[in-house]
Amino acid sequence: MNLKGGSGKTTTAGFLCAAFHEAGMRVLGVDADGENESLQGWQEAADLPFPVITLAVSNLHKQLPGIVGDRYDVVVIDTPPMKAQRGTVLSAARVATHAIVPMAPTPIEFDRLSAVRELLADAADVRPDGQPPLFAVLLTRVKPRAASTKVYRELITDEGITVLNAQVGHLERFAQAWGDPITDATRSAYGDAATELLDLGEENAA
Ligand SMILES: Nc1ncnc2c1ncn2[C@@H]1O[C@H](COP(=O)(O)OP(=O)(O)OP(=O)(O)O)[C@@H](O)[C@H]1O
Ligand SMILES: [Mg+2]
Is residue 206's pLDDT more than 70?
A: no
Distance from residue 130's CA to the centre of ligand 1 (Å): 32
What are the φ/ψ torsions at residue 159 (nearest 5 degrees)?
Answer: -80, 0
Instruction: Please report, for the domain that includes residue 118, its CATH number.
Output: 3.40.50.300
What are the φ/ψ torsions at residue 83 (nearest 5 degrees)?
Answer: -60, -35
Indicate the number of domains in the chain.
1
Residue 186 within a domain: yes
Mean pLDDT over 35-47 rounds to: 92
Residue 108 within a domain: yes
Residue 184 within a domain: yes
* pLDDT given at position 35: 80
Mean pLDDT over 109-132 rounds to: 96
Rounded Cα distance between 86 and 79, Å, is 10
* Kind plus residue range of the DSSP H or E element containing 92: helix 86-95
What does the DSSP assignment read for 32-91?
S--SSS-HHHHHHHHT-SS-EEE---TTHHHHHHHHHTTS-SEEEEEPPPTTT-HHHHHH
Q: Tell me the average pLDDT of the chain.
A: 95
Instruction: Check if the beta carbon of residue 11 is closer than 8 Å to that of residue 182.
Output: no
Residue 45 within a domain: yes
Give per-residue pLDDT as tens, 157-175. Answer: 999 999 999 999 999 999 9
Distance from residue 109's CA to the centre of ligand 2 (Å): 16
**Closest CA to ligand 1's atom 10:** 175
Count CB atoms within 10 A of the CB of residue 119. 20
Give per-residue pLDDT as tens, 47-58. Answer: 999 999 999 999
Mean pLDDT over 191-202 rounds to: 92
Q: With cut-offs at 50, 70 and 90, classify the pLDDT of residue 64.
A: very high
3-class SS at 143?
coil
Residue 3 within a domain: no
**Closest CA to ligand 1's atom 14:** 6
Q: Is 83 in the pocket of ligand 1 (CB under 6 A)?
A: no
Q: Is 7 in the pocket of ligand 1 (CB under 6 A)?
A: yes
Mean pLDDT over 27-39 rounds to: 91
Q: With cut-offs at 50, 70 and 90, classify the pLDDT of residue 36.
A: confident
Residue 79 within a domain: yes
* pLDDT given at position 37: 80
Residue 4 within a domain: no
* pLDDT given at position 204: 64
Is residue 69's pLDDT more than 60?
A: yes
Distance from residue 205's CA to the centre of ligand 2 (Å): 30
Q: Is 15 in the pocket of ligand 1 (CB under 6 A)?
A: no
Percent of the chain with pLDDT over 70: 99
Mean pLDDT over 140-166 rounds to: 96
Rounded Cα distance between 120 and 104, Å, is 20
Nearest atom in ligand 1 to the alpha carbon of residue 168 is 1
Which range of residues forms the domain containing residue 69?
9-205
Instruction: Check if the beta carbon of residue 14 is closer than 8 Å to that of residue 174.
Output: no
Q: Is 175 in the pocket of ligand 1 (CB under 6 A)?
A: yes
Can you name the residues that pair with 162 across neighbouring β-strands? 136
Q: With cut-offs at 50, 70 and 90, classify the pLDDT of residue 34.
A: confident
Predicted structure pTM score: 0.97
What are the φ/ψ torsions at residue 182 (nearest 5 degrees)?
Answer: -105, 115
Q: Percent helix, strand and coil across the chain, each rounded to 5?
A: 45, 15, 40
* Alpha-carbon torsion (185, 190, 192, 195), positive or negative: negative
Residue 104 within a domain: yes
* Alpha-carbon torsion (44, 185, 97, 202), positive or negative: positive
